[in-house]
Structure 1
Amino acid sequence: MLLLPLLLVSMDVSVLYFAVPFISRTLQPTSTEQLWIFDIYGFVLAGLLITMGALGDRIGRRRLLLIGALGFGLASVAAAYAQSAGMLIAARAVLGVGGATLMPSTLALIRNMFHDEKQRATAVAIWSAATTSGIALGPVLSGLLLNHFWWGSVFLINTPAMVLLLVFAPFLVPEFRNPAAGRFDLVSSVLSLGAVLPVIYGVKEIAANGADLTRALSIVAGLLVGAVFIRRQGRRPDPMIDLRMFRDRGFSGSILTNLIAMFAMVGFAIFSTQYLQSVLAMSPLTAALWSLVPSLGVGVAAPLATQLARRVNRAYVIGAGFLVAALGLVALTQVRADSPVAMILVGAGVYAIGLAVVMTLVTDMVLGAAPPERAGTASALVECGSEFGGALGMAILGSVGTAIYRRDVTDALPTGLSHDAVHAVRETLGGALAVAGRMPGGTGEVIRRAARDAFVDGMHAAAVTGAVVMVGAALLTVVVLRRTRIAQPSDRPGPAPDAAAAEPALRG
């Protein structure tokens, strides 16, 4: 039951990939509006994760899950039948609010429903696999729906699942909350939003369009607000985030480790996707179907990691996962513009398996290290770290790849091209292929070959950078996490946080 909202929320991150041309023809958004149609969901989701995690600890995680399901379902209908770009942007923003309630609620409920370490580890492995599968399935499902229905169908598919959740969750999912959580701190909520949003926005804008003063100031402003937020949490008797949790090396180290894993997972995905579509000239749907192949190993790797961690110190298993990811990235440096598709699929599959091992085990460590009454906040911090890691991955690995691409493609361009043509070729691989298509005879083929070779060189540089980071993360993991252990309910003071104890508190 908890997998339903998780799959749909993760799918909504990527479901628009194929729908944008259809939306553009129908709603005719400006370039700025089109950008916000894409980005508003992720921005709102990231900005509200901490707030919603803390709110779930106070009002009840199942209650928040149901509120989020209702909002997500209604917003999906509004998005499907939007009559203007502004309406669609607003609906996507509400979808982000709903997503921010659903994701930490599902993970927090897992923490409270499964107190046994083995059972919880298995549940987290399934949770991690479902998240990865949702992101991978989004483009495929979008392409299939758009072949038969109008663009709104990519949103409308959310509604039946939310209805099922609203009907069955009250009977199948127990309620949990922290009866000693205190009043909800609205000021801290605003501060957390003001800290996360500018940083995520600035990093993503730098990744997409390069650095400038405005984007840098956005990041600085977010960090300053974040400092005020942390200071306020340290002074309040009932903080939104209990800063004492970060004194546990298992908790803080796992948050950092998960961030690094998402750095590689999201940061390199843009290269493999572009390689399939623009270098191997696959259609978007064909590329999306091929991109599912690496994710098949994730479904096997996650549960195997939990089994192995019962026999071997999980710090070493996590470190090994990072090294496997590094091996996969190194393998991708052997891919050429004319390589068979199997080469990139194998390399991507290997690094995805390694990172799946990492993310499964560190998520379980975060939940095990956090007090059960703070499970909502801990889950939100995991998700927030994932958003930061993905944004940093796109910014850093994307910048490395772009710098190499621009250097190599400029050196290989034929003479006599106009300034506008050279600028378009240097900006993106897609722009270069568009210019090549307009050029006569051999000139177009020279540009096309130069751009594809330069892109592959940039991909190699990003892979090497990612591999170095993965090796460093493996060493850091062993140093920081090897002496940590996950506390069991009996280790903690006070009554066991089981459903029977939580329900009366809620009813009262």
Structure 2
Amino acid sequence: MRRFRDSSFSGSALTNAIAGAGLMVALVYIPVLANAVFSMNATGAALLLLRLMVGIPIGALLGGWLAQQLRSYRVVAAAGLILAAVGFLLLSGWNEGSLGPHLLGSPIRVADAQLFLTGLGLGIEIAPVSAALLDAVGEAERGAGASFLIVMRLIGMLVGFSLVAGFGLWAFHRATAQLIPPVGLNPTAYALYIVQFKQAIFDEYHLIFRATAIALVIGALLAAATLRPLPRPRWR
């Protein structure tokens, strides 16, 4: 427990948990959104999520390199989380036509770039946050420190996701409480019901993605305030 009195240790652990919650939200809700609203099959939903997942390993490599070049864990970790927050904020503006527009006339869609940006930010924070915690525990306890990092990320994925998902479902049920399916074969009434129901789904996802963006900004502030700089290299 004495390790939690070290701000760099506790800050790294909490930052890692928040990033885990953000990752879990993306892993669950992007495929569900693809299927429920964009009417994609399982393959299409997986390929949509792949845009985000590709950014994570690229971001992880970039984050490690930047931390070494800038000699700053806090700047790189905070920048990665802010980038991911911006990505989720962009995702919170999606509507039924969001998968159509292309980026500057290129084959890349704007939605693809937004997903990649989100994954890139989630990847960038991995190396500096992990390294900051391992530096805080020292050589003899690095194995335990690495295990604790995984545990905190899993806790963040479970607890953080549950809180955000519960909040989103509460908002969805509140929005659809007065939405009653039409009785009979009136096509106009049924079409209106479908439009309103889809809008309620979008509103739920918008709320969830915005809440995730806020959580990631809090994680960025936490990283900026608590992570220590890289130790000076020891010359032999």
Q: TM-score, normalised by structure 2?
A: 0.84
Matches within 5 A, 1:429-440: none
- Post-superposition CA distance 1:424-453 (Å, at most 9, x none): xxxxxxxxxxxxxxx774454334332221
- Check whether the contact 2:82–2:220 (CA below 8 A) recurs between aligned residues: yes
Do structure 1's residue 246 and structure 2's residue 23 form an aligned pair?
no
Q: Partner residue of 1:333? A: 92
Q: Secondary structure at the residue paired with 2:177? A: helix
Matches within 5 A, 1:414-493: 414=181, 416=183, 441-481=187-227, 483-486=228-231
Q: CA 1:348/1:397 → structure 2, altered by over 3 Å: closer, same or farther?
A: farther
Q: CA 1:347/1:406 → structure 2, altered by over 3 Å: closer, same or farther?
A: farther
Q: Partner residue of 1:299? A: 57
**1:391 pairs with 158, 183, 191, which one?**
158
CA distance in 1, matches of 2:116, 2:177: 32
CA distance in 1, matches of 2:57, 2:211: 27
Structure having greater relative contact order (Cα 8 Å, sep ≥ 6): 2
CA distance in 2, matches of 1:276, 1:440: 28
- Post-superposition CA distance 1:137-178 (Å, at most 9, x none): xxxxxxxxxxxxxxxxxxxxxxxxxxxxxxxxxxxxxxxxxx
CA distance in 1, matches of 2:84, 2:6: 26
- Check whether the contact 1:265–1:355 (CA below 8 A) recurs between aligned residues: yes
Q: CA 1:411/1:337 → structure 2, altered by over 3 Å: closer, same or farther?
A: farther
Question: Displacement, 1:364?
Answer: 2.0
Q: CA 1:290/1:464 → structure 2, altered by over 3 Å: closer, same or farther?
A: closer
| Count of aligned residue pairs for this structure pair | 225
Q: Partner residue of 2:22? A: 264
Q: CA 1:366/1:391 → structure 2, altered by over 3 Å: closer, same or farther?
A: same
Matches within 5 A, 1:46-445: 243-312=1-70, 313-340=72-99, 342-414=109-181, 416=183, 441-445=187-191
CA distance in 2, matches of 1:469, 1:409: 26
Q: CA 1:475/1:407 → structure 2, altered by over 3 Å: closer, same or farther?
A: same
CA distance in 2, matches of 1:296, 1:268: 13
Q: TM-score, normalised by structure 1?
A: 0.41
CA distance in 1, matches of 2:179, 2:114: 28
Question: Displacement, 1:390?
Answer: 0.4
CA distance in 2, matches of 1:366, 1:251: 5
Q: Secondary structure at the residue paired with 1:339? A: coil
Question: Displacement, 1:388?
Answer: 0.8
- Check whether the contact 1:267–1:395 (CA below 8 A) recurs between aligned residues: no
CA distance in 1, matches of 2:88, 2:180: 29
Q: Secondary structure at the residue paired with 1:311? A: helix
Q: CA 1:345/1:400 → structure 2, altered by over 3 Å: closer, same or farther?
A: farther
Cα RMSD (Å):
2.4
Question: Displacement, 1:389?
Answer: 0.3
CA distance in 2, matches of 1:450, 1:346: 28
Alignment identity in percent?
24
Question: Displacement, 1:415?
Answer: 5.2
- Check whether the contact 1:257–1:477 (CA below 8 A) recurs between aligned residues: yes
CA distance in 2, matches of 1:485, 1:244: 22
CA distance in 2, matches of 1:440, 1:386: 50
- Post-superposition CA distance 1:450-476 (Å, at most 9, x none): 222111111111121112222222222
- Check whether the contact 2:31–2:48 (CA below 8 A) recurs between aligned residues: no
- Check whether the contact 1:333–1:463 (CA below 8 A) recurs between aligned residues: yes
Q: CA 1:452/1:411 → structure 2, altered by over 3 Å: closer, same or farther?
A: same
Q: Which runs of 5+ in 1 are unaligned?
A: 1-242, 418-438, 491-508
